[in-house]
Structure 1
Amino acid sequence: MGLLLGLIIGALAGWIAGNLMKGEGFGLLGNIVVGLVGGFLGGIVFRFIGLTATGIIGSLIMSVAGAVLLIFIVGKIKGRR
């Protein structure tokens, strides 16, 4: 059940971040990947600044924040933003 919930949160986080940053999602698989990597990145950033995310909503917020940061960094590297 934990894996399925992680994939759902990752897909939702990737979709939200995609809509916030570029106006559209990345497709189902792309949203999952962006959301999962964003969750990892968000966890690192949250721990670094002393925040904790608990529960489903906290995980979603952390994943969205990390995914937005990921999209921003990739955009800077590619020279788009």
Structure 2
Amino acid sequence: MYISGESLIVILFVGLVAGWLAGKIVRGAGFGIIGDIVIGIIGAFIASWLFPRLGIHIGGGLISEIIYSAIGAIILLLVVRLIRSGGRL
């Protein structure tokens, strides 16, 4: 798989915005630039796996990718918080 420089910049931008949004919604603060990017990218993978199985489709474009990734990142952060707190949110 080949990723061009432009594609990598878009992936990192979407990951950053999605991770930042998820951090604000779930935790109330971000995790730094690198942490936000990582959480956003993992959230994008979660959303791209989960949403088609649930029959959810928002649309195409950069904004929908940010929304997908943010929702996936929120799910990731909630699961991590659930595991860390021993079952309490």
Q: Calculate the TM-score normalised by the size of structure 1.
A: 0.94
* Alignment: residue pair count: 81
Secondary structure at 1:34 match in 2: helix
Which of 7, 23, 27 in structure 2 is aligned with 1:2? 7
Secondary structure at 2:56 match in 1: coil
Does structure 1 residue 30 correspond to structure 2 residue 35? Answer: yes
Which of 49, 54, 59 in structure 2 is aligned with 1:44? 49
CA RMSD of aligned residues (A): 1.1
Name stretches of at least 5 consecutive residues in structure 1 with no aligned partner: none
TM-superposed deviation, 1:44: 1.1
Larger Rg: 2
Q: Percent identity over the alignment? A: 37
Q: Deviation per CA, 1:21-49, whole angstroms, max 9, x where unpaired?
A: 01100000000000000000011111111
**Structure with greater helix percent:** 1
Q: Which runs of 4+ in 1 moved over 3 A?
A: none
Name stretches of at least 5 consecutive residues in structure 2 with no aligned partner: 1-5
